[in-house]
Structure formats: structure tokens, C-alpha cells
A and B are shown apart, each in its own frame.
Chain A
Amino acid sequence: MTTSPIDQEELIQFLYLCPVGIAQIDPRGTISLLNAKGSQLLMPHARRLGLENLFDILDRYDATLRHLSATSEDHGTLCEHQVVQLESAEKPQHLAFTLLKTSPETIMAVFEDVTRVTEAEAETRDLLTSTAIERGRSELAAEVLHDIGNAVVGIGTRTASLLEDSQWPELIQLGKLGGFLSSRSEALTATLGEKKADALIKLVNEVHGSLESRRQRTEESMQSFTMSVHHIQEILNLHRHYARQSAYAGRERVSLKVIAEDALTIQAAALAKRSITLERRFAPDLPKLSLDRTRMIQVLGNLLKNACEAFDACPPAAGRKIVLEIARDKAGSGLCMQLRDNACGFAPERAELLFEKDTSTKGRGSGLGLYHCRKVVESHGGTLVLQSDGPGLGASSILTLPNSPTPEPDHADHLEHENPGH
């Protein structure tokens, strides 16, 4: 078949403008044909070398292609989508090469920039790794929580039994003895003399009074202890519930208020320890959202924990306060949650730095850092930002979550808890 000059010109333009790099090389890498995209991709790395030899350009990054091309085979595919990482001033560039040997002295090279795809793959890999780690942690946590739970049940049972025995029959008998001696004081005086009789009655009554007040203190302590054990059991149940859930985490329509309340229960001790007043400002009739409740309670718990710990950097002061506000977002379909504290705050320009991986404001790692919190929120299509007017001026965490098409009014908030149980 013959081709007219116009067809040849079109063919050249077609190859020239083809949006992937195309080169014809010999087995030593010498370039005989190269299209525009090829030049665009290689030139920044070739510089003074020019575009005479493909392997001379690539060798300082990766000599794989040179080695693959040294094959004694006459023809055939030498590699497919072989990625070469080329360093550049800004960030590494990844080019994927396919080499097809068409004759002993001719190799067709097709290559494209796969930097974005490679970065996206790396991000996905990171996410999968962190998800796997998170899942492993959850499973471990569930086991540990189960064991601790069993131990706490033992403590609770023993405490309850001690409370049942809190009347101390010996003390009752001692009280009766005191009463008996008082009622027989005349006979005692006749036998022992007034001084000794009074001293004996006084001694018995004082011992009884002293023991009775100790018994009451012990009983109060036991009651307080019992309440603490109950509280620990509640927290353990919540944690266990969410730890177990995360092994098969999924989305369900759930109230953000319920998640917030659960996070608050878990962080109750952190709030109480620092004498922080919590103010809830929940708007009525908020829609339920499609959320991964396990992950979201971790996010809210982490934001609360950070807010609590921010007070540790402040001088002790009265009026420590956290305001937790949940309202509809500006569009009216999604939700906006704000967590404001009047703690130490931070310089406004540091806000984004706090989200960087492995960054901690406290100099130590936390279970779910802000980096992961934001990842979780973003996986729900939402946003998470931190704001502060400056050091000493408090800080806010602002979380927005969009809604999927059919919002359901939030009428059954507190019916959502299933019995955590064993």
C-alpha cells in the first residue's frame, strides 16, 4: 500500500503530538526517533546530555532498562510499565516505560508520567496500612478490655459484698455494752468506785463512737468505690463496643449527638480531673448522618482529649470551659460541630502544622492523631480545621460533615445504644 505525502505528514503529526512519550532506540539506548511528549518528559532530566541516548539519561536513577535491553532475544516485549523514579528539584517524577524489541537493532519505547498515580497508590497503601494497624489495635484493645472487664467485675462483686457486711455486728454489741454499762452506773460505782466506773463507761462509749465513725467513713468509701467501679465498667463497655465494631466498621445513619455523648463519657474523667465545665449546645431536630460511628467516636474523643490536655499548658485558673456545639451547616443539610476551649491556644499560623503526620502538640504520640482524624473526616466528605486567635486565647476545632440525600430527623437519640454486654 502506498501513502500519499499528506498521509505521511498526518502520521508524523499524529506520532509527534501523541500524548505519551514515544521513542525509537537501539539496544544501547541511542535515540533515533522521539516525539514531543517524549522530549517534554526527558529534557528536564537530560540537560547537557541532550536527547541522544535514553539510558545515559536514566542510568543515574535506574539502570534496569539498560540491562533489560541487553537481551540477546531478537524481538519481544522487554518490559511493561516499568516505573523509573527520576529525582528533580521539586519532587520525584515517576515515568513508566514499556519496551518492545521489534528487530535486533530496534526497540520501541513508550513512556508516560505516572507520578500522580504513583503518589495516589502510595497514599492508598498508607491508608490501608494505617487501617490495618488500627484494626489490629482494635482487636488487641477488645481483648485487653475484655480481660480488664472481667477483673473489674471481680472487684465490683467483692465491693458489693463488703457493703452488705457494713453493719459490723461487733460494733453493735459494743454499743449495747456501752448502753448497758451506762444503765448500771450505780452498781459499777459501788463496785469500782465512781472514778473508775465513769472512766470505764467513758472508754467504752468513746471506743464505740470512734469505731462507728470509722465504719461510716469506710461505708462511704465503699459506696464511692462501687460508683467508680460502675463508671469504669460503663467506660469499658463503651470502649469494648467500639473496639469490636471497628473490626467490621461500616457506615450507618447515626446521630452525631449520640457519638458526642459517648465520646464525652469516655473523656469524663479527663474533664473532671481538670475541673473543666462542659457546656452542650445541641440544636434541635438534627439529621442523622451516614457515619462510621467507631471512627467518628475516636475522632470526637481525640478532639475532646486534645482540648482537655490544652489546659495542662495553662496556669491553673478558675473558669475552665469547653463548649460543644452541634448545629446544621450553612447549607442546612449537613452538620457543623464546634469544640471551643478557653485554654492555651496557639499561633494561628501553626493551625495546619498541627495536622501534619507525626506532629503532636504535647511532645508524645496519641492514639489517633489529628492527621488521622482529618483523614477519617475527609473520608466522610467532611472537613476538620483548628482555629485560634493566638497563644492564651483558646482554640476551636471545627468539624463539618455533609449529608447524603435522605436526612432523617434525630428523634431516637438514646435508643441507639445496643447493650454492650460481653
Chain B
Amino acid sequence: MSAGVDLSQFFDTFFDEADELLTDMEQLLLNLDVDDPDIDQLNGIFRAAHSIKGGAGTFGCFEMLADTTHLLENLLDYIRRNEMVLRKDMIDIFLHTKDVLTDQVAAYRNQQEPSREAYERICAQLRELAAERHGGVASQPASAAPAAVPASPAPQPAASPATVAASVAELPLKVQIVRINEKDIQALADEMALMGEVLHKEQGTDTLTLWLKTSTPADDIAAVCCFIVNEDQVSVIAEALPTIGAADSAVAAAAPASSEGAGAQGDTPVPASDSAVTSSTTETAAETSSPQAATPPPPPKPKPKPAASSAGNAAGGGSSTIRVGVEKVDQIINLVGELVITQAMLVQTASTLDPVVHDRLLNGIEQLDRNARDLQEAVMSIRMVPMDYVFSRFPRVVREAAARMGKRITLVTQGAATELDKSLIERIIDPLTHLVRNSIDHGVETPERRQEVGKNPEGVITMTAQHHGGQIVIEVRDDGAGLNRDRILKKAMQQGFPVNESTPDEEIWPLIFAPGFSTAEKVTEISGRGVGMDVVRRNIQGMGGHIQIFSKAGEGSTIRIVLPLTLAILDGMSVRVGEETFILPLSNVTESLQPTTEQIRAISESERVLQVRGDYLPLVALHEIFDVQEAEKELTRAIAVILQVQDVRFALMVDHLIGQHQVVVKNLEANYRKIPGVSAATILGDGSVALIVDVFALMQTSQNQRLATV
């Protein structure tokens, strides 16, 4: 990264990282217990803010982002060091800050200037909080109380490095490195010996503890260790030797204090600097030694830090990952799809060869077939993202919506590890958010009401995800009052839906998905405008899925979304009509049969139904819809494929069934446009294109006997 390098190429990485860090930060903030904040969580939040600030500072062109994170970071630091007491309203402000930061990152990503108004407002709030702390300190002047001690770095930042060095001269540095392998132990021990005099050495199987008498600052020693190990494995603190320490009772007190980073030894000679020296990790040490005042950080410091801390984060994430653009993955998927098609072509050609003569060739082709399929599966799994990506944003949604509605709600998520295609993951968020808000708004009762009916005043919303065959089932369940049948019925009759008192529940519930249907007695900020559920269902259908409702009065309701795992591959049944091949999604096919004359009844001139085991199913002829010549017109010689979409079943007449296979779904809209009755296309084994039938559109046809044409 020498001068003259165009930094903008790193921007995207920074933005992605910032987004991730912000998500982490939100998660941690939400998990934080106000009364007894966990120091690790506080550190985590602090580190996230710090890394963003560092990154923003390095690029030097994201001023607002850097300033906002700087203020946030300071506040977090005070809290972390017990100088301020965490309150609920602070968490709210921090969450709000996170939102502003997210907006800022988004704005910078789009090469726009973020909203200055939001920036100034949030900064003012943060400063106000910070001022509280200064005010508190002022009212409690240097009373040797622990809280007052760390205030001193602020007015005299320049003095602090000197004092660090001074304190180091008095106490040896304890360098502790954990989780290292044996060969590194020796290397590190040698390295440390070069830095100063090793007073004492303790060596475990994967830990190394050294007491070092040196004039080198703690940060530098940590930096040296970081060449070999990750920074979260290293801790460098000033501590007396264990043998001496046993005699000296003061050391016993120093150890716990240092582990908390609180620096509470008000009577030691190094109070101003102890926050820097005794902090538990090197990263915190590096951080706290920079001035606490609201001035920009000194130029030499931030440069090395972002790199170090992001490396730390990557390591902290546990698994090693690489960041790859989605388009690259899609390209691989496309190419593998091509490979599978080519391979199918080979199989087709090879099937005409004499198996005795071409034994080896045929074996090879068979192996290629297996490998190609494995490869395809492996590649598809790259696109899979765990549902955690979706679920993780709901604690926030629930928290805010519940607070606004004056309800008490816990969110339980199950199956966060369930994987789903990335393109679907992104599109499922909005519908799910809507459903969850709906549950909070209409489903779960107020705490008082819940107590009246003998329920736990705290409602529970459960979100689950699980694989079921080739599909994923996502449920949003609440233990609220359930859907109000009477109210829905009344409303439905008012709006002229064909329902009456005896209509079964299963037909009543889907009415809430009808456009313009809302049962909320009053429109709230969250829901009740009657546009939502309709959009939710459309979105789900757009993803090739469907939605079901289960509800029981007084016990709650469950909304179940069933989605295909991926949009890129489809289990299809290929059928032939005339000279043309079409693909039907296998998930919609329930059975197929050859109809007899008795089974076919004409209702009117153009409408016919097929009687299957007592049910009368509308009959749709594929050749009529797609205007295919030379198709089988005689119904008893054709094949009826029974298709099911949601709860509607109908029979589709085709000439022949060819077979079932997985097909790679190819978008038609990329180069052309949406074709009525066709959801996408695929490429067959012979290289030709086959259209995938849009069963949902056909269902509407079967109901309207008319396909919307161009």
C-alpha cells in the first residue's frame, strides 16, 4: 500500500467489513445486559467501533463516519472502563448511532455525502452523553476514587507515552501467549530475549509466559509477537514476577485489576498511565494510549491499527473465509451448468455406441457424470447462506416494535444454521419482517390482557427454519390470541368475498392475504394498512414458494413459508407437447394419469373438468395455452398431469412424459422479457432451450380460462 496506490480499490472491502462490523455491533448491543454488562461484549462493541474508525481514518475521505465512530468509541471506552454506568437509554442511542453509521456507509458506498443533519444530531447526542461523564467527574474532584483516575489521560495525552515507559522500567512486562504450537514457543522465546532481559519463563504445552525487563513499550512487544501469532493470543501487561509477587500483597490486587482493565490502583505511583499499561489486551493498550479528548487521533497511530485489528477480527471469526463477488460465483455456477449440459450431450451420444467395444470410454463418461454432479452440488453450496443472516436482524425488530406497542415479547429462533440460496435470503427479509411485525401488532396481546387470560405476560415469537425435502420451511409463530375468525369473516362479507358462517377455517385464513384486507381495528404505525399481507404473499410466490396459515383462538397463530432451496436449480419433469418440450416444476406435480372418457366432463363448450377419485379438477390443455400445433387433441390419448399450487389442483394435458431431472434455471428476462405462462428457461441435454412452465400462472388460467397475453 505504498503512496500513489489508488485507495479506492480497497473501499469496497472496507464497506463490506464495516457493514459486517455494524451488524456484529448491533447484535452485541442487543445482547448486552444493562445491569451487568459483560466485559467481553463491551470490548467487542468497542472493537467494532474502533475498527470502523480506524478504517475510515486510514482512507481519510469518510470524515463523518470517522467522527461519529470516534465519539461512539470514546463513550464505549468509558463504559468499558467503568467510568460510566451503562443505561438503557444509552443502548438505544448506540443502536440509533449504528443505524446512522449504516446509512453513512451506504451513502459513501454510493459515492454520496451522508446526511449531515443525521450526523450532527447523533454526534450531539453522543457528546451529550460524554458530557455527563465529564460532569460527573468534575463534581467528584480527584478524590482518589477509582473513577476519577482515568480521567487524567484526557488533559495530558502527551505525557502518557513517557509514563508508560517509566512504569515499564519499574515493573517487568508479563508477556503471555496462548494457543500456540510448540515450534513457535521457542521462536517467540528467542524473539523476546532480543527485546530485553528475560527474568522468568513459564512454559505450558500451548502457552508461554515470560517476564521481560525491557525498555521497549508494551505495544511494540505485542507487535513483534503478532508476526508469529494473532493478536488476540497475546497479552502484554506490566506485572511483578510471580516469585516476588507472592511476598508482595499489592501484586495480588494488581492482577485482578489489570485483567479488568479498570486500573483501580489509585495509590500506585503510575495512575495516569495504568489504564494503558494494565489493559488486558494489546489492542486495548494501543487504543487507550491515544488521547481521549475529542480531537482527531494523532496521525502515526491509526495507520497500523486497522490492519492489525481487522486481522484480529478475521482470526476471531474462527473459520477462514474469503470474500468473493457474487457475480464470480454466478459465473462458476453458469460454467458448471454448461459442463453438466455438455456432459449430458456426451452421454446421449455415447448411448449409441457398442458398450463392448467402447467399454473404457463409457466407463469414463459415467465417471464424468458423477463428478460433474458432485461439482455442481459443491458449487451450488457456495451460494448458500445460513438463515442466521436473516434471523440475526430480528431481535432488533422485535425489541423496537414491542416497545412501541407496549408489549413484552421474547424472540426465539431455531434452525439459524439452515442454509438457503443467497438470492432468496435477501428477498425473504422483507416479508418476514412484515410477518413478525404483524405478530407483534395483532398477534401477541398486551401484558395485562395476557395476565387476564392466564398466560405469561411475556409473549413469545418463534422463528424457525428447517429443510424439508428440497424445500425450506420457515415459520413465524406467536403465542398470542390467534386470528379472529369472526372479525375476518365479517370484514370479508363486507368486502364481498364469497364466504359465509360455515366456511371452514382453512378458507378463512388465506383471506388476510387478499389485497386491501386488514383486520386491525386501528391503523398503527407498524401495520394495519391492509397492503402488507398481500405484498408478502406476492413476494413469496415470486420466489416460487407458498404461504400457509395455522391459527387457534387463544393459542396463537403460525405462518409457514415454504420456499425452494435455490432458484438456480429446479427439479423438473419434462413433458412433450407436439414437437416441443416443456419443463414442469416437480414440486407442483402430484400425479399423472391417462384419462378415460368417463373421467372427462364438459361444463361448457370450452371448459372441461377431470374427475379424479371424486374430485373435479379443471382441465387445462398445454397445447392450447402455448398454441402448439400437432399436439394430441384427443384427451384420452394424452396424459393428464395433476398439478397443485397452494391449495388449488388442476389437470394439465400433455402428450407424453419424458422424464424427471434437475435443470439449471436460466433467466429469460436477462436478454428478453417475461413471457406469459413461462417462469424461466433451461437448456436440455441436446443443447436446445426448453421453457419452464409457470404453474402459478397456469392455475390462474385454469381459474379464469384465459391467459393474460402480451
A binds B: no
Which residues of A come within 8 Å of B, CB atoms? none
Which residues of B come within 8 Å of A, CB atoms? none
